[in-house]
């Protein structure tokens, strides 16, 4: 039993964090009076203008309720632009679309996901060559889309040149590129910390469509699909309705993004989460029974723990088991993680490490 007080906030996920006060204030302000429905309101117009300013170019932006919906909507828009049979979506075995969306792309779109092995959850140009042959003959679902995640589900990052090389090869093979940016704020904060860093790893790298995350970074519940390739936006409004992501009161989704995009607040929040993860690494990497790789790139840590530590720690302050065969768990920081949370959690980890294993005869 761990007897030190647990942290006030959880390290289970950035999904468990609350909404930023500025987001709540923006939603309350948007609640005053009436506004046109289905996105024909001034808040949504402002949101779309903010995204265009962020990317420094015309883009098509459509807001959604959640990340799975954003990905499915993006895939639907892209698949709709591809002629011929229903195409497949290429991803890694770690991809959220493959692992954590309950088969939503397959069920809703009828599109097969081709998941490729990857030790670090990243795709490389040569990986695309391996699936290009599936386009020949009638026996395979022909690849049409490549989806990558930035940062990945393992907390790794693509640098912009790697995304550009992947996009170039994909386009050579006639594939469209989607970027799942549920945690894009963390990637941008890690790779430059300004709008130019965002553009370098998305629109300027050749990405066709991206899912832009808000929920994990201070929103109540709002994501965006951003289309960079104009022809892929044809019919996107019908697509959004068909995949059940059209909010009648879109102003409340837009208000959340307006607050996050204001004065680059979204980048600051992602950077804070990253720094908290780096500090948590500093506080725990040398504790006996804890095995951590180098400092985290973003806001996730994947320590391997001594067997006697795992369940007491998870009962004391819940976090997810990641790979039980290795004793690996996942710790995640968020925009609202505090130094006190870190100190308390590290104290609990140290207490768990000092406890005798259950099977120790002493």
| Average pLDDT value over all residues in the chain | 96
Boundaries of domain holding 261: 21-265
Say yes or no: 216 and 318 in one domain. no
pLDDT value for 124: 98
pLDDT per residue as tens digits for the range 196-254? 999 999 999 999 999 999 999 999 999 999 999 999 999 999 999 999 999 999 999 99
Say yes or no: 303 and 234 in one domain. no
* Contact indicator for 135, 142 with CB cutoff of 8 Å: yes
The CA distance from 226 to 341, in Å, is 35
pLDDT value for 342: 99
Say yes or no: 284 and 206 in one domain. no
For the chain, give the percent of residues with pLDDT over 90: 92
Domain boundary among the residues 235, 265, 295 is at 265
pLDDT value for 11: 98
The CA distance from 362 to 356, in Å, is 8
The CA distance from 260 to 158, in Å, is 24
Q: What is the mean pLDDT of residues 286-306?
A: 97
Q: What is the mean pLDDT of residues 278-286?
A: 98
Say yes or no: 343 and 276 in one domain. yes
Residue 362 in any domain: the answer is no
pLDDT per residue as tens digits for the range 132-153? 888 777 888 899 999 999 999 9
* Contact indicator for 182, 213 with CB cutoff of 8 Å: yes
What is the number of structural domains in the chain?
A: 2
Domain boundary among the residues 237, 265, 293 is at 265
Say yes or no: 150 and 297 in one domain. no
- 362 confidence band (pLDDT: 50, 70, 90): very low
Say yes or no: 54 and 194 in one domain. yes
Domain boundary among the residues 265, 285, 318 is at 265
Say yes or no: 74 and 219 in one domain. yes
Say yes or no: 101 and 150 in one domain. yes
Say yes or no: 327 and 178 in one domain. no
300 DSSP β-pair partners: 332
CATH classification of the domain holding 102:
3.40.640.10
The CA distance from 316 to 288, in Å, is 19
């Amino acid at each position: 039993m761990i007897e030190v007080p647990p942290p006030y906030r959880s390290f289970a996920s950035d999904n468990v964090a609350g909404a930023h006060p500025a987001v709540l204030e923006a939603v309350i302000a948007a609640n005053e009076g009436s506004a046109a429905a289905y996105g024909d309101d001034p808040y949504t117009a402002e949101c779309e203008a903010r995204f265009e300013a962020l990317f420094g170019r015309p883009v098509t932006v459509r807001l959604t309720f959640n990340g799975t919906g954003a990905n499915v909507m993006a895939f639907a828009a892209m698949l709709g632009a591809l002629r011929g049979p229903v195409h497949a979506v290429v991803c890694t075995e770690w991809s959220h679309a493959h692992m954590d969306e309950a088969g939503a792309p397959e069920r809703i779109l009828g599109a097969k996901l081709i998941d490729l092995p990857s030790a670090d959850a990243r795709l490389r140009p040569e990986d695309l060559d391996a699936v290009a042959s599936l386009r020949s003959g009638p026996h395979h679902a022909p690849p049409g889309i490549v989806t990558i995640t930035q940062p990945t589900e393992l907390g790794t990052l693509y640098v912009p040149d790697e995304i550009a090389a992947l996009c170039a090869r994909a386009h050579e093979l006639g594939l469209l590129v989607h970027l799942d940016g549920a945690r894009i704020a963390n990637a941008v904060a890690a790779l430059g910390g300004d709008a130019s860093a965002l553009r370098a790893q998305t629109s300027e790298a050749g990405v066709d469509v991206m899912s832009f995350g808000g929920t994990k970074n201070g929103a109540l519940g709002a994501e965006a699909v951003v289309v960079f390739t104009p022809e892929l936006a044809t019919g996107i409004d019908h697509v959004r309705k068909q995949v059940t992501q059209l909010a009648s009161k879109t102003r409340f989704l837009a208000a959340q993004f307006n607050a996050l995009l204001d004065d680059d607040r979204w980048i600051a929040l992602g950077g804070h989460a990253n720094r908290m993860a780096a500090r948590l690494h500093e506080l725990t990497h040398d504790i006996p029974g804890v095995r951590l790789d180098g400092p985290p790139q973003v806001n996730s840590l994947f320590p391997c723990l001594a067997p006697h530590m795992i369940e007491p720690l998870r009962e004391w302050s819940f976090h997810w088991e990641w790979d039980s065969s290795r004793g690996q768990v996942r710790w995640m920081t968020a925009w609202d993680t505090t130094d006190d949370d870190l100190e308390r959690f590290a104290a609990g980890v140290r207490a768990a490490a000092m406890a005798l294993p259950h099977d120790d005869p002493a």
